[in-house]
Structure 1
C-alpha cells in the first residue's frame, strides 16, 4: 500500500523528472569542477614542504569548521543524529574524506595530476559492479565492455610495458588506485545516507568525523603552524600557505562535496559517479595551464580509452529506482516531515 501511495508523488517521466535530472547533472558537474581545482593548488602546498597527511588534515579541518558553522547558524536541525547512525557516519567520514584525500595527495606528490585523476575515476566501474553483484541489479552488456576498456586504458596510462625503470612511481599508482576505492565508497555511502540525512547535514558529519580522526592521529599541538606563513612552493601560486589551504578547504572541498552529494538526490550513484569523471578533463587542463604538466602520447591515448570505457559502461543511465534499495525513488526527502508522517501512518 505504501508504494502505491507514493508512486504519484515521484513521476517517472515528464517535466518534473527532466527538471530533477537537469538539476542533478548541474550539481554533479559543479562538484567535479570544484574538486578539479584541488590538484594544482595542493601541489603548491606540498611543494612548500608539507606532507600529504598534513595537507589532508588542514584541508579537512577547514572544510569541517566552515560547514559546521554554516549549518549551526542556518539549519541546526539538519545535524540531528541517532546513536545507531554513528558507525555509518564514522565509516563514511574515514573512507570518503580522510583516506580519499590523503591517498590523493600522496598520489599527486609522486605522479602527475592527470594520471592520478584518470586512475581515481575508474570508480564508476566499481560502483556499477557493486550495484550488479551486491544489489543484484542487472546491468547492460555495455557495462562490462566499458569495464574492459577502463582496464586497458589504465595499462596505457601506467605504461606497464616500460621495463627501463623510468615508468611511474609504483607507490603513487597504488595511492591513486586506493583513491578509486575510496571514491566508490563516497558515492555508495552518500547514496545510502541520503535516505536519512539532508545533503549538507550528511557532508558536515562526514567532514567532522574525518577532522576528529585526524586530530586523534596527529594532535593539534604537533602541527607546524609556523610554516603556514611561508609562500607556496610553485611560482604561479606564491601566496602564503594558510591562504591556499583556506581556498582548498572551501572551493576544492566543502562546496564540491555538498554539490556531488546533493546530486545523488536526483541521480543514481552509477550516473552521478560517471558525471564526476569530468574532473579528469578539467583537472588535466588546469594542471597543464597552471603547473605545466603534459601527458605523454601513450598516456593521452590511455586517458581517452579510460574515459570512453567509463562513458560506455554508463551509456544507459539507471534511475534511482532501478539502482536498488539504497537508491530507491520512493524514499522521501528527510526534511519532508509532512510526507514522512503520512508514511508512518500508512505503514501502521
Structure 2
C-alpha cells in the first residue's frame, strides 16, 4: 500500500516537472519562431490562444464533462470575459512580445515577479501587514532583477527597454490573472476556466490579427514543428499535466516544482539559442527563482 502511494506521488512529481519544463521550453521555442523563423507575434498569440483553448475545452468534451456551466451564471460569465481579456490575453501578449523584443529567459524571469506584485497589492490594500519576510523578498527580488538586466554594469542593459517594460507588464498581468481567477476556480473546473479564457481571448484578438492572414510567413518544417510544440506541449498539454499532478501531490509541492519553469527557460535558451548569460545574471536569476521558492515553502496564511 505504501509502495503504491509512493509510486503515485512520483507520477505527480513527474507531471509537475514536465509541465514546468514544457512551459519553460515553450518560451524558448517561441523566441526561435519570432527571431529566426520570422513568425509574426500577433498572429502567433491568436493561434496559440484559439488552438490551446480548443484543445483544453475539447479534452473535457471527450471525457464527457459539461462545458457550458460556467456561462449559465451571469456573474461567472462576466468575470470570465474580464479574466479572458485583462488576464489571459494581456499575460500572453505581453509575455510573447517581451520574448520577441528580448529573449525567453529574461521574459520568463520578469514574469515571475508576479508574486512580489501580489504581496504589494495585499500590503497596499491593507489585507495583510508588512513583514520582515516581505521586505527581504522584495529587496532580493529588486537586486535580482537589477543584476539580471544589467549583469552588474549600470551603463548598459542586457535587453532593450521595450522588452523589459513588456516583461514587467506580463508580471503585473499574471498577478491580476492569479488574483482575479480565484472566485471562478472555487466553483468551476480549472481546465475549463483556462480553456474558455483562451478561446474568448483568441476570438477577441482575432479581430486584430486574424489567424488566416499568413501571407508573410514562410511555412517550413522547423516552423511547423515549433508551432506544434508551442501550442500542444507548451500550452494545452503543459496545463493539463499541471492540473493532473494535483491528483497525486499537494498544491504546495506543485508550486515548488513550478520553479523549474524559469530554470528550464534559461538553460534551454543558453544551450539551444546560445544566449549569452553573464555570471551576475545567473546570480540575479537565482535571486528571483529563490524568491518564488521561498513563497512556495512558507505557510499559506503567511
Which residue of structure 2 aligns with residue 188 of structure 1? 179
Aligned in 2, Cα 1:274/1:52: closer, same or farther, shift over 3 Å?
A: farther
Residue of structure 2 aligned with 1:296, choices 251, 274, 278 = 278
CA contact (8 A) 1:35 1:253 kept: yes
C-alpha distance in 2 between matches for 1:63 and 1:249: 6
Taking the aligned partners of 1:137 and 1:26, their CA distance within structure 2 comes to: 35
Shift of 1:31: 3.1
- 214, 222, 245: which is aligned to 1:224? 214
Structural RMSD (CA): 3.2
Q: TM-score, normalised by structure 1?
A: 0.72
Q: Tell me the distance in 2 between the aligned counterparts of 1:36 and 1:216.
A: 29
Equivalent position to 1:58, from 44, 47, 68: 47
Mapped contact 1:124–1:274 kept (Cα < 8 A)? no
Give unpaired runs (5+ residues) of structure 2.
1-5
Q: d(CA) in 2 for partners of 1:71 and 1:225?
A: 34
Over residues 107-146 of structure 1, what are the superposed CA-to-partner deviations in whole Å (9 max), with x where a residue is unaligned? 1222232222221111122233344554724575323211
Relative to 1, partners in 2 of residues 1:261 and 1:174: Cα closer, same or farther, differing over 3 Å? farther
Helix, strand or coil for the counterpart of 2:66?
A: helix
Three-state SS of the structure 2 residue aligned to 1:48 is: coil
The answer to whether structure 1 residue 68 and structure 2 residue 52 are counterparts is no
Render the CA deviation track for 1:40-63: whole Å, top value 9, x for unaligned. 211232122222212111211221
Any unmatched runs of 5+ in structure 1?
1-17, 232-238, 324-348
Would the aligned equivalents of 1:120 and 1:180 in 2 still touch at CA under 8 Å?
yes
Conserved 8 A contact 2:42-2:209: no
Greater Rg by CA:
1
Contact 2:22 2:238 in 1 (8 A): yes
Q: Determine which of 239, 251, 258 is the counterpart of 2:233.
A: 251
Please state whether the residue corresponding to 2:108 is helix, strand or coil: helix
1:304 shift after superposition: 1.9
From 38, 49, 52, the equivalent of 2:26 is: 38
Paired residues for 1:9-28 under 5 Å: 28=16
Q: Taking structure 1 as reference, are residues 58 and 220 closer, same or farther at Cα in structure 2, changes over 3 Å only?
A: closer
Change (3 A) 1:220 1:292: closer
Work out the CA distance in 2 between the residues paired with 1:188 and 1:308.
22
User: Which of 267, 272, 276 is residue 285 of structure 1 equivalent to?
Assistant: 267
8 Å Cα contact 1:120/1:176 also seen in 2 = yes
CA contact (8 A) 2:15 2:241 kept: yes
Contact between 1:142 and 1:315, CA under 8 Å: does it hold in 2? no
Q: Aligned pairs, how many?
A: 292
CA drift of 1:285 comes to 1.1
Does the Cα contact within 8 Å between 1:119 and 1:154 map onto a contact in 2? yes
Write the distance in 1 (CA, Å) between the matches of 2:278 and 2:89.
31
SS in structure 2 of the partner of residue 218 of structure 1: coil
Q: Per the alignment, in what secondary structure is the counterpart of residue 195 of structure 1?
A: helix
